[in-house]
Amino acid sequence: MKSLKWVALSLVLIPALATIQAKPKKTDKLPAVFNEARYFYVEAVDGDEFNPRLLPEDRQAIVDVETALTKWNRYTLTARRSDADLVFVVRKGRVADTDVGVSGGSGAPNGASIQAGNGSQDCDGPQGRNRPQNASGRAGCEADQGAAVSFGGEVGPPDDLLEIYVANARAVDQAKSRGALLWEHRVAGGLDRPDLALFKRFKDQVERDYPPQASQPKKP
């Protein structure tokens, strides 16, 4: 009899435990400010779209996110960050965006030093002096008829980045204090057109937690 009772109890408990384990985890709800905000501003990690030092990829990402937000029609674009409720910050991923420059003559422009191997080489010295070899075994500073090659560029995370801040209206220096970070994701190609996967992820989360309210029919 006892064995029969245990069998019957198992038949009741096992399905109940399976139901509990199969229950999906509750997702974290976005802060209410995303439902209450009205105005937005978009800039890059390195500055706004009018910053002359901004890379073209970041400037284009600003335009793309502004366009997507405007089409969404949930928030309104403002020309000044101080008037925004939400600040969207973008950055295109890049591993090595390199510029190469070549100068003729004495091997280093304006008497600059060329870094090779583990040491710095003075290119102003007479030929045959102060010219240690680099790792490849070649002299760091070539003869006067040689050319100097300089490398410079932007190196950073390979993934695209989208951050969203609640604007800090009381900040004295807006450029140094965007406000409190509310949302941040990064993914390779996440700001590529036409999908803008990072923006789409944010939009889907907002509409999941705060669905658009259907317009009420006007009373006659």
Domain boundaries, the chain: 35-95+156-209, 99-153
pLDDT at 157: 86
**35-95+156-209 maps to which CATH number?**
3.40.50
Neighbours of 87 (CB within 10 A): 21
pLDDT at 153: 52
Which segment, 16-20, 38-42, 46-50, 169-173, is predicted with the most confidence on average? Answer: 38-42
Share the mean pLDDT of the chain.
73
Q: pTM for this structure?
A: 0.60
Euclidean distance between CA atoms 33 and 165, whole angstroms: 10
pLDDT at 167: 84
Give CA separation, 108 vs 95, 105, 118, 144, in Å: 27, 8, 18, 9
Q: What is the pLDDT of residues 151-191, one digit of tens each?
A: 445 567 899 999 999 987 554 444 456 789 999 999 999 99
Instruction: Tell me if 137 sits within 8 A of 191, measured CB to CB.
Output: no
What does the longest C-alpha to C-alpha distance in the chain come to?
105
Q: Using the structure block, give the residue that is written with the tokens 């600040």.
A: 87
